[in-house]
Chain A
């Protein structure tokens, strides 16, 4: 429907291009400015400012003027084993959340795309975690994981699977427990995006393949997946970035504990900046995080896109 109007517009616009163009240009500036100004001052500007800060010794509440110190923050950072440990945890967390999130959301999206009864209810329920404040999600799962009054241990006890444990305080269980929450919290967005992608797959092709006797798996491989791939790649890349930048969930669940086992890089940088006031150093951490994540993502996307050409 809309593409038709677009095509019509494209066919129509060349003749009208001559005269009103200049006027449109001025009008456009007038319309764009109210949004452009805050974007420049509070988004683009701070980003550049942040990169500059990484090369200074800026601290909070200091009276002496801030000085350029070149790459000193970065050489310090390279030797900061605590930071790299936190970085490693961040990567484990981001991959550990993004991969199951994608697989589970794909399964759910495929189900919701079927003609099942109560589909509307399932769709509504599946989106609930999206509407909840992250802080509430964290609080909720603290109640589930609570060693005594929590439902998880009670269920384990009922099933005769031992006494359960203190999931969020155990050195070995804290990170997996937090990852489960991350998967839960991020599933709706992924499901909705994949569902949108699924609804773009050509139905006729599906039916033709079914008539030719292709099984469900083959139909998925040859018809659904090729159409879904771009959406799947985009949402996975975004999820990875969002998860790596996660803060509120883990802040509420464990605040980085026990013994730093769940201290994501964002928590680390937050403490460095706003507890210890090391603005310059924390900005340098931000730069390193962005750089490494960009490289990883570029490798991931390049690999995936190339794989698509060969297949």
Chain B
């Protein structure tokens, strides 16, 4: 009995250590965001700002076009999420319900694309988009994000489709409903929660993305939040810490909120995927 108690204490201690490691950097970001310049220059920084201020946030908006960038990010992420789900759902349906050669090839692509070398894709992608006159344009970026979000979206959706009993579809077919009709009015509503979770996940992935945005968008008024954030850091790596922290914190908020909403579903989605494969 005694050893069990001490083991429990050890477990809690280990868990606490993990949580500190994971949470402290984020708390430090928060703390820095609310500190006035005098405290940021101090040689003995404190965890809790002695004189908390919102000035950093105001300055951040003055220094960089944050609103414009946030709007761009929102458009790119929302566009990518909606389009990705629209085209992934029918495909996931086929992959889950039919064991054709096409479905198998698609599953193979989903796995391989997880290991996709960005270096090898980005240069041709840049040239292809240039030919389509989609360089330095948000629609071009949305296209790239859609393809980039597809593997995980398919992976999640296939799991959700498999959880819908086929009997329901067979019943609809017996009642004379066509394929598309069955998909839209029987399977669709049952899939809705999974589709929303997948869309939100695609949204976060696109909202957080940096590399493609850096390469594909050139003019400052088109750039997304992550790219604008790096502009706070000067050429010599010197940054105005307060506004930098404030802007970084703001840019994280939407992802955190959305993630909190779908957290359970993502872990659940990975679970079903893992069990099925």
Contacts and interface: CB of A to CB of B under 8 A. Distances in A.
Interface in B96-132: 98, 100, 102-103, 106, 109, 113-125, 127-128
Given A27-B179, A108-B18, A283-B120, A193 B90 contact: no
Contact of B119 (A28, A135, A245, A252): A245
Contact of A238 (B114, B119, B225, B248): B114
A32 B94 contact: yes
A9 interface: yes
A39 B124 contact: no
B204 interface: yes
B266 A192 contact: yes
A32 B91 contact: yes
Contacts, number: 271
Given A128-B22, A128-B256, A133 B207 contact: yes
B265 to A, nearest CB: 12
Interface string B1-23: 00000010001101100110111
Contact of B210 (A122, A134, A231, A286): A134
B226 to A, nearest CB: 4
A39 B109 contact: yes
Contacts of A49: 124, 127-128
Nearest to A244: B117
B210 A193 contact: no
Interface in B200-221: 204, 207-211, 215
Given A23-B179, A111-B14, A132 B21 contact: no
A166 B103 CA distance: 53
Interface string A125-145: 111111111111001111110
Given A46-B121, A46-B128, A131 B230 contact: no
A44 interface: yes
B45 interface: yes
A35 B91 contact: yes
B90 A2 contact: no
A41 B128 contact: yes
A206 to B, nearest CB: 16
A143 B23 contact: no
B245 A139 contact: yes
A125 B263 CA distance: 11
Interface in B170-209: 170, 179-180, 183, 204, 207-209
Contact of A231 (B120, B125, B165, B274): B274
Contacts of B23: 125, 128
A143 B90 contact: no
A12 B145 CA distance: 40
B98 A45 contact: no
A32 B154 CA distance: 12
B154 to A, nearest CB: 8
Contacts of B229: 133, 135-136, 139
Contacts of A241: 114-115
Contact of A245 (B15, B117, B179, B215): B117
Given A41-B128, A50-B120, A132 B22 contact: no
A42 B144 contact: yes
A95 to B, nearest CB: 17
Interface residues of B, number: 103
A199 interface: yes
Given A24-B98, A248-B226, A151 B47 contact: yes
A16 B87 CA distance: 28
A50 B18 CA distance: 42
Contact of A252 (B122, B165, B230): B230
B226 A144 contact: no
A143 B245 contact: yes
Among B7, B25, B88, B208, chain A packs the most CB atoms within 10 A around the CB of: B25
A34 interface: yes
B150 interface: yes
Interface in A111-128: 111, 114, 116, 122-128
Contacts of B245: 139, 143
A282 B233 CA distance: 27
A195 interface: yes
Interface of B: 7, 11-12, 14-15, 18-19, 21-26, 28-29, 32, 40-45, 47, 86-88, 90-91, 93-94, 98, 100, 102-103, 106, 109, 113-125, 127-128, 143-144, 146-147, 150, 154, 162-163, 165-167, 170, 179-180, 183, 204, 207-211, 215, 225-227, 229-230, 232-233, 237, 239, 241, 244-245, 248-249, 251-252, 255-256, 258-260, 263, 266-267, 270-272, 274-276
Interface of A: 2, 5-6, 8-9, 12, 16, 23-25, 27-29, 31-32, 34-36, 38-39, 41-47, 49-51, 53, 104, 107-108, 111, 114, 116, 122-136, 139-144, 146, 148-151, 154, 157, 169, 184, 187, 192-193, 195-197, 199-200, 216, 231, 238, 241, 245, 247-248, 251-252, 255, 257, 265-266, 269-270, 273-274, 279, 282-283, 285-287, 289-290, 293
Given A32-B91, A32-B102, A114-B11, 8 more contacts: A28-B94, A35-B88, A42-B144, A116-B11, A133-B210, A149-B41, A266-B119, A270-B119
Task: Return the 3 tightest CB-CB contacts between A and B, nearest first.
Answer: A286-B120, A131-B259, A286-B119
